[in-house]
Amino acid sequence: MTMTIYEALGGKAGIRNLVEAFYPKVVADPLLGPLFPEDIEPVMDKQELFLTQFFGGEPLYTEQYGHPRMRARHMHIPITNDHAAAWLRCMEQALAENVPDVELRQFVLERLSGSAYFFVNS
């Protein structure tokens, strides 16, 4: 039986730990921080739902918010290649803190890289 990325990351607890490690880095980043609201908790909750679904867990994001349409949902925010790179650096650090398997970290980062650069609109 093949394990999903979601399962390999530790399921619900693993995704939540990743999100909790990731967002303090995002908020502290001088390029990314200003793009996010002061109350980051709702953003973290949505990210947890999205990553759960994106990595093969239950379709929690779709059940609660409809089709992700992530690029469309982010069009009101000017996102550059520098933003995408900064976002990926924060995620790489969060993965390093939470995922001991180097190959899994690299796979996850590669999978997210396409999405990060897909958001570029400026």
As a CATH number, domain 5-118 is: 1.10.490.10
What confidence category does residue 69 fall into, taking pLDDT thresholds of 50, 70 and 90?
confident
What confidence category does residue 1 fall into, taking pLDDT thresholds of 50, 70 and 90?
low
pLDDT attached to residue 15: 98
Are 61 and 68 in contact by the 8 Å Cβ rule? The answer is yes
Are 101 and 5 in contact by the 8 Å Cβ rule? The answer is no
What are the residue boundaries of the structural domains of the chain, listed by start? 5-118
Could you read off the pLDDT of 9-52 as tens digits, one per residue? Answer: 999 999 999 999 999 999 999 999 999 999 999 999 999 999 99
List of residues 6+ apart from 31 with CB closer than 8 A: 82, 83, 86
**pTM listed for this prediction:** 0.93
